[in-house]
Amino acid sequence: MDRITRRDFVNGTLVAAGSSLLPFGATLQASMAGVDRRYYPPAWTGLRGSHPGSNDYAHARAWSARSDWGPTSKLRETYDLVVVGGGLSGLAAAYFYQQKHGADRKVLILDNHDDFGGHAKRNEHTIDGRTLISYGGSQTIVEPKYADNIVLDLLNDIGVDLGRFESAYDIGFFKRHELGSVTYFNDEIFGENKVVQHPYCNYPNYLEGLQGAKISDEEAAQQAPLSKKGKEQLLRVLKGGLHILPVPDEELENYIYSHSYFDYLRNTLGVDDPGVMRMARHSGIDWGSGGTDVMSIAQARSCGALGFPPRAVYDEDNPYIYHFPDGNAGVARALVKKLIPDVAVGRNAEELVLARFDYARLDQPRNNVRIRLNSTAVNVEHVGDPGSSGDVVVQYMNDDKSYQVNARSVVMACYNMVIPHIVAGLPGEQAAALRLQGKSPLQYTTVGLRNWRGMKELGIGMAMSPGNMHQAVLMDFPVSMGGYEFTKRADDPCVLMMISCPYGTEGAARREQFREARYRMLSLQFKDYEQEIRRHLSGMLPGELFNFDRDVASISVNRWAHGYTVGGPGDSTRIGRRPFGRITIANCDSAPGADAKTAMMMAHRAVDELG
């Protein structure tokens, strides 16, 4: 491979180079057995997550009802189980199936992405010869002490030692470097580039060890680049809370769940300043799965929106520290290692942190479990009557070619809303219920920096950024384990995390906002994201310490068009996940929920339903 320059990294050329290594074709029977040894998606930068091409076939099926995929190669492959979706739920389904029926059972996992793990995405940034690890999606094992024994047993079996995170996570990092929660106001929206040493909301609370506001609410309101009226209104919001609602105590709980947060701001607090309302709308970000304009007061309070007092810690019993350097990709990799032992070297999850996985081993004929990437299921259909059928045919697309395999059972561990378009013959009520499920768009961008002197100078551990595409910028989680060392000094390379929860038109229904934001997000090219990141970081950080062209080594934009799970109304989720003959349904959507534990529990249920 030719040497790739820094500008190639920043402009996304590495993704194009990586795509040339894809091994697929009829001569290989659409397996990864002949993959080039350079095929290593975690190291690819540019547009990641829902990367270009990953959703093309699914969209053609769902949007245009495409059914003619050309000649289909019927492979001489029959599996005990085919899993559609190679995220945490799909990987866990394969694990639970073998646990229940025996390690010799044959399982095929199909996934439309170029890497396994789904939202549990690993990002690697190589900076001046040093590889830094970060995550591009599923972040942390949330509240593991509340996990079911089914999940705890799985984690233990794949070598995840939860106790290890207590020392791996450097709780004192932010205090040592005097890094706290701030807010960055940009000149485009607020009239000037300004950093204020106050987050104005509770969102940063989950970053354990992060220092809080360095100034009072009163001073923070005065420093905000708002009009005099806006400053007064902002302080009114900061001093507000449930205690000022004109509601009897016995009616308060029902009231906050049935009344809008924006109505509370406008009617109870008298807020109409556009700057304050924008700060409020962008204060929940991904923890609220949308703008606060579509939230109840209770939902806004839960996600730490503007005006609700911050909590000192995320959870005293379950601190937010259960985070591999690559987020829950560390869990996904440990699961893959368990299913396909010779894919990497390492006896447990920690030893896999620095391991380079051999993708050529994912889909070997000798494997009992095979993972076939870049393969989109387009039709899943029982042979004969679903009530008595013992066989299911699964058709999938790979490199613009159609293939078919046979399975005795299928677990659909994919985006639930697409299932009615893929699974033939679903009962009408179930298909209608599945179409009501949804996901909010989400974007995690990781930026490889040669140093973080600018962050250190301004004391930025996390910057809320209500005027930018990425509403939060933060130093990555300070985790060192498995031989991997988190950045120690401001002169050393680091990874910045930039989080974007795209919103649609204010006032529109939640579902419509998701659709609008999703289309807009996917319509952008890498250069658009790069320009936005350039403006954001250059406006926020001091020019004498930060130069974008000099200091930014690489960018990975992890776009998730279908990000956080948002359940459908009423009983639609339960109806949608019903077993259908030899086909069952997993994924977080079927809970509904949005964390690793839920994904695994839904996989366990789906496997149990197969009998």
Query: Which tokens sit at 16?
Result: 């194009």
Asked whether residue 66 is assigned to any structural domain, the reply reads yes
pLDDT in tens, 161-189: 999 999 999 999 999 999 999 999 999 99
* pLDDT over 50 (residue 4): no
* pLDDT over 80 (residue 57): yes
Encode burial over 220-254: b for 16+ CB neighbours within 10 A, e otherwise: bbbbbbbeeebbbbbbbbbebebeebeeeeeeeee
What average pLDDT score do residues 74-93 get?
98
Q: Tell me what the pLDDT averaged over the chain comes to.
A: 92
Counting Cβ atoms within 10 Å, is residue 10 exposed (0-12), middle (13-18) or buried (19+)?
A: buried
Question: Is the Cβ–Cβ distance between 553 and 44 less than 8 Å?
Answer: no
Asked whether residue 347 is assigned to any structural domain, the reply reads yes
Instruction: Give the pLDDT confidence score for residue 241 in this predicted structure.
Output: 86
- Specify the number of domains making up the chain: 1
pTM of the model: 0.93
HSE (CB half, 13 Å, CA atoms) of 96?
A: 27
User: What is the CATH classification number for the domain harbouring 62?
Assistant: 3.50.50.60
Instruction: Give the pLDDT confidence score for residue 566 in this predicted structure.
Output: 87
* pLDDT over 90 (residue 311): no
Instruction: Give the pLDDT confidence score for residue 310 in this predicted structure.
Output: 60
pLDDT in tens, 218-233: 999 999 999 999 999 9
DSSP per-residue letters across 38-69? T--GGG--EEEES-TTTTHHHHHHHHH-----
pLDDT category at 564 given cuts 50, 70, 90 is confident
pLDDT category at 315 given cuts 50, 70, 90 is confident
Asked whether residue 372 is assigned to any structural domain, the reply reads yes
Asked whether residue 592 is assigned to any structural domain, the reply reads yes
* pLDDT over 50 (residue 5): no
* pLDDT over 60 (residue 124): yes
Asked whether residue 163 is assigned to any structural domain, the reply reads no
Instruction: Give the pLDDT confidence score for residue 10 in this predicted structure.
Output: 42
Domain that holds residue 100: 6-120+323-437+568-609
* pLDDT over 80 (residue 555): yes
Distance separating alpha carbons of residues 200 and 181, to the nearest angstrom: 9
Of the candidate ranges 313-322, 530-539, 576-585, the one whose mean pLDDT is the lowest: 313-322
Instruction: Give the pLDDT confidence score for residue 314 in this predicted structure.
Output: 67
Distance separating alpha carbons of residues 206 and 315, to the nearest angstrom: 9
Question: Is the Cβ–Cβ distance between 506 and 517 less than 8 Å?
Answer: no
Counting Cβ atoms within 10 Å, is residue 342 exposed (0-12), middle (13-18) or buried (19+)?
A: exposed
Most confident of the following: 388-392, 478-482, 504-508: 478-482
Instruction: Give the pLDDT confidence score for residue 27 in this predicted structure.
Output: 34
Asked whether residue 159 is assigned to any structural domain, the reply reads no
Asked whether residue 483 is assigned to any structural domain, the reply reads no
Asked whether residue 548 is assigned to any structural domain, the reply reads no
pLDDT in tens, 380-434: 999 999 999 999 999 999 999 999 999 999 999 999 999 999 999 999 999 999 9
* pLDDT over 80 (residue 2): no
Residues 6+ apart with CB under 8 A from 88: 117, 118, 119, 120, 138, 328, 331, 332, 335, 596, 599, 600, 603
Q: What percent of the chain has pLDDT over 90?
A: 85
